[in-house]
Amino acid sequence: MSTTLEKLLESIELGKVNQAAPFPPQLKGQPGADEYTKTALEEGVSPTDIMNLALIPAMDKVGQKFSEHKIFVPQMLISAKAMNASMVHLKPYFQAGEVKRKGTFIIGTVFGDLHDIGKNLVVMMIEGAGWEVIDLGIDVQPEKFTEKVQEHPDAVVGISALLTTTMNNMTPVVKAIKDVSPKTKIVVGGAPLSSDFAQAIGADAYAKDPQESVKWLDTLI
Ligand code: B12
């Protein structure tokens, strides 16, 4: 792996947003996620490699350290901020710029859940694959999903959950959507989920990452 990617991974893991950021003190004055992402792109590293070799492994490390009580919520939050600083530079590369859209995709993080980094990656990749995306944000109640589904009857819906507690909140969301629009296709995703879970709650599919969800969406056209 290139030194730049290693530095980027470290910046996100330690929450170094950019050069001006005073945190963490040991990296004061040094470049951060913002600058290293730009450098990696200038060096010709592909946005997908930046994501898969630096961004996602960095968040895995953060999660691991959180599980081991080596870091706490504020550090997770600052890592998330660093991750977002990096994603800003990747976004344009995932945007297709196609005139004709393949369809509409409505996505949100289920109510009770505030995690949105994974969802935002899904948004970027699905937009990049030519879909019009309506992003409902985080902590989304069933009514907000059903309202949008009624406005866009042909849309496909994606729901994200990152917690073993909030994944169960997907059950009433799926039910509410299917009640107002039985033909609406729903894909669920997020680290604690599985195909079995998706099936059990009546969703049409589970996708482990944006790439898999794009493949599944293509089968619907
Ligand atoms: C960053 C982070 C936070 C940040 C979130 C900031 C933000 N803006 O998102 C903050 C600090 C807010 C946070 C809070 C909490 N967190 Co947190 N968090 C994380 C962390 C470190 C990274 C998550 C992440 O962004 N991963 C990177 C992205 C790219 O991966 P991803 O989200 O899995 O998404 C990918 C796939 O799952 C998939 N995907 C995701 N959504 C969807 C949707 C669809 C439709 C599809 C197709 C695919 C898909 O595609 C994505 C790209 O590949 C994880 C650990 C981890 N490794 O996941 C813990 C983690 C999820 N958090 C955890 C916990 C416990 C919490 C808190 C309860 C802590 C607390 N005590 O307050 C709170 C809960 C707040 C709430 N109500 O939601 C636990 C969950 C444990 C569990 N099994 O339930 C984890 C696993 C940490 C741990 N190891 O213990 N957290």
Q: What is the pLDDT of residues 121-166, one digit of tens each?
A: 999 889 888 899 999 999 999 999 999 999 999 999 999 999 999 9
Query: Does the pLDDT at position 54 exceed 70?
Result: yes
Same domain, 49 and 72: yes
Beta bridge partners of residue 104, listed in sequence order: 132
Rounded Cα distance between 194 and 128, Å, is 25
Would you state the pLDDT for residue 212?
A: 95
Question: What is the distance in A from the centroid of ligand 1 to the CA of 99?
Answer: 33
pLDDT digits (tens, 9 = 90+) for 175-204: 999 999 999 999 999 999 999 999 999 999
- The pTM (predicted TM-score) of the whole model is 0.93
Rounded Cα distance between 141 and 29, Å, is 42
Same domain, 112 and 90: no
Instruction: Establish whether residue 158 lines the binding site of ligand 1, counting it when its CB lies within 6 angstroms of any ligand atom.
Output: yes
Same domain, 91 and 27: yes
Domain total in the chain: 2
Would you state the pLDDT for residue 96?
A: 57
Residue at which a domain ends, from 95, 118, 142: 95
Query: Does the pLDDT at position 207 exceed 90?
Result: yes
Question: Which of 162, 194, 217 to mutate to test ligand 1, by most ligand atoms within 8 A of the CB atom?
Answer: 162
Query: Does the pLDDT at position 55 exceed 70?
Result: yes
Do 51 and 40 meet the contact criterion of CB atoms below 8 Å apart?
no
Would you state the pLDDT for residue 99?
A: 52
Rounded Cα distance between 13 and 135, Å, is 27
Reduced to 3 states (helix: H, G, I; strand: E, B; else coil), residue 151 is helix
Query: Does the pLDDT at position 98 exceed 60?
Result: no
Question: Which of 67, 76, 195 to mutate to test ligand 1, by most ligand atoms within 8 A of the CB atom?
Answer: 76
pLDDT digits (tens, 9 = 90+) for 2-50: 899 999 999 999 999 999 999 999 999 999 999 999 999 999 999 989 9
CATH for 171: 3.40.50.280
Reduced to 3 states (helix: H, G, I; strand: E, B; else coil), residue 39 is helix
Beta bridge partners of residue 160, listed in sequence order: 109, 189
Read off the pLDDT of each residue in 60-83 and give the average, rounded to a whole number: 94
Nearest CA to ligand 1 atom 84: 163
Rounded Cα distance between 167 and 174, Å, is 11
Where residue 24 falls (left for φ over 0; alpha for ψ -120 to 50; beta otherwise) is: beta
The whole domain housing 80 covers 3-95
